[in-house]
Amino acid sequence: MHGAERVATPQAFLGTSLGATRDNTELGTYQRWGEDRGEGLSAAVDRAGTPGLRLFDRSGAGLGEARMPCGNRTLLQRGYAADIVARAFDRPRCCSSIASATSPYSTSMSTFSAASSLRRISFLEAAPAS
């Protein structure tokens, strides 16, 4: 593939940037899921903004809680299951070029890293969605 063909779809871009995954059809499945459901979840996570941190409860006792927006867990689970996040870190030269493609994951990983002293990470959703 050359030029625009390399980035015509997320599947083509990630396949070119990250190389083959466990199963190349996984990228196609992930792309279809992203178009059907992921884009809406990503938009909801973006609208929610930066995850809230609650360091203390009402009485002043240490709480240490990060409150992740609805949809974040599902986006993370699907991205990890498709082997996209791990591949980005296996090939550091790709990380900067795919930052926007994996922003929910890189933002969340940064949040988890920076908040390593937190006692709890809450996802503001009833149950993990598939």
Supply the DSSP string of 52-114, one letter for each residue.
EEEEE-TTS-EEEEEEEPTTHHHHHHHHHHTTHHHHHHHSHHHHTTTTTTTHHHHHHHHHHHH
Is 108 a member of any domain?
yes
Q: What is residue 57's predicted lDDT score, i.e. its pLDDT? A: 87
pTM (predicted TM-score):
0.56
Q: Hey, is 18 helix, strand or coil?
A: helix
Q: How far is CA 23 from the centre of its chain?
A: 20
Is 34 a member of any domain?
yes
Domain count within the chain:
1
Could you list the residue range(s) of the whole structural domain that residue 52 is in? 3-123
The Cα–Cα gap between 54 and 77 comes to 24
Q: What is residue 14's predicted lDDT score, i.e. its pLDDT? A: 66
Is 50 a member of any domain?
yes
Residue labelled with tokens 């992921």: 38
Is 62 a member of any domain?
yes
Q: What is residue 75's predicted lDDT score, i.e. its pLDDT? A: 85
Q: What is the largest CA-CA distance in the chain?
A: 61
Is 130 a member of any domain?
no
Is 43 a member of any domain?
yes
Is 128 a member of any domain?
no
**Ordered mean pLDDT values, 10 residues apiece, the chain (130 residues):** 58 66 70 88 86 86 82 83 68 50 49 49 52
Q: What is residue 98's predicted lDDT score, i.e. its pLDDT? A: 46
What are the tokens at 108?
Answer: 């969340």
99 close to 48: Cβ distance less than 8 angstroms: no
Q: What is residue 59's predicted lDDT score, i.e. its pLDDT? A: 94
